[in-house]
Copies of this chain bind each other. A is one copy, B any other.
């Protein structure tokens, strides 16, 4: 268990690390950021940082020696990095969560083995395997690389007019899965936390709208039945317990059908604070960032009570130019990430409206 004054190490220097550090400070905890050269907005709000690559063993060992626990803002932490750190200091969430979620095939197999619904999927390692899989799953279906996909990168929708060859080349011929297309009504997610003593607390289920594969908007409550809401939270708990997870995580779901036919299937697990939980900054008693810090510090979780109806909107690329009008909107909560350069598709900030 950490004490106030202790230091949490964070791998990654982006907006998630920044918001974790901003949440750690009021709890009396310091943060030390480890990130490669680049635009690292988390550096602006922390006293210590290390600029080094994730395979720099000496830098990792020095970092591990300077902190009481290590956490991370992204799931693609190399296994070797986690191993070097784990030898010297607790890494939370434990690296097993990384190993499972870094590979879509492993991740979906893990979820299916827990008895949770996932879209049908088949591993494909060659064009021939893709053709066989397409025969089984039909079109449309979705080809996704096993590793390193996010915000729609590393994905190809295989419709009637897309040949196996084209799809295979679109994703660069990388080891992949072919997944049955789910004709979903909506996408929802559960952001939840599990403490080191095994307490699990889930925020209310949120509904997510994407634009160009990037989260555009999160609203609460989600337009789903109470039964579906409970099923989503139960699934999140099951996943966290199976992973012996400590920290905040998100589970994304597809919701198909409606009424009595409403059904969930798990899309993916994010072993970290998540964009669909940004509304909790200002919209819940405890933000997901504070919750994650509490969990990895070995402390009790905070209240996940929601403070009203919620609309969270990402500010992508040039959206951030709206800051003067947004600042002037009464009661709106604005969070800018302090990134130096505006680029198309880049998450620059977000806003949350809490309708009390």
A330 within 8 A of B: yes
A116 within 8 A of B: no
B4 in contact with A25 (CB, 8 Å): no
User: A335: shortest Cβ distance to chain B, in Å?
Assistant: 5
Given contacts A4-B323, A303-B330, contact A336 B44 (CB under 8 A): no
A338 within 8 A of B: yes
B28 in contact with A336 (CB, 8 Å): yes
A25 in contact with B44 (CB, 8 Å): yes
Given contacts A18-B25, A25-B22, A327-B294, contact A338 B45 (CB under 8 A): no
A interface size (C-beta, 8 A):
39
A307 within 8 A of B: yes
User: A16: shortest Cβ distance to chain B, in Å?
Assistant: 14
A299 within 8 A of B: yes
The distance in angstroms between the C-alpha atoms of A18 and B22, with both chains bound, is 11
A104 within 8 A of B: no
Chain B residues contacting A334 (CB-CB under 8 Å) are 26-27
Chain B residues contacting A25 (CB-CB under 8 Å) are 18, 22, 44-45, 338
Chain B residues contacting A285 (CB-CB under 8 Å) are 331, 333
The one of B47, B303, B337, B356 in contact with A43, judged by C-beta atoms closer than 8 angstroms, is B47
B44 in contact with A30 (CB, 8 Å): yes
Question: A4-B320, A299-B327, A305-B331 given. 14 additional CB < 8 A pairs?
Answer: A4-B323, A4-B338, A5-B338, A5-B340, A22-B22, A22-B25, A25-B44, A25-B45, A27-B336, A43-B47, A285-B333, A294-B327, A300-B328, A302-B330
Which A-B residue pairs are the 5 nearest by beta carbons? A28-B336, A44-B47, A303-B331, A300-B328, A26-B335
